[in-house]
Amino acid sequence: MSETVRRRVVVHGNVQGVFFRDTARRKAESHAVAGWITNRPDGAVEAVFEGDEDGVAALVEFCRRGPPGADVESVDETQEQPEGLSGFEVR
């Protein structure tokens, strides 16, 4: 069994109103990644991903591109201690 990792990302650019959160939720579920994603008041999208290294890496890579219609300018990525989250929530 692979080790659980956790990453927090803040995605800057034109990333709200382009189905970023719902697309991320579907990708997280398909990769068995837990966590949450939310729109921030400053126009960014913030997310936490917990799961195996490959699944979390796939979600972080998705955030660097975004769904069609998104214009990602930058992504801040932070490694955190896993909390044992289950499921994925759009907040």
Catalytic residue among 39, 40, 64, 65: 39
Catalytic residue among 21, 26, 64, 91: 21
β-partners of residue 78 are: 8
How far apart are alpha carbons 17 and 19 in whole angstroms? 6
Q: Is 14 a catalytic residue?
A: no
70 contacts 20 by C-beta, under 8 angstroms: yes
* Amino acid making up residue 86: S
How far apart are alpha carbons 50 and 6 in whole angstroms? 4
- Just list the catalytic residues: 21, 39
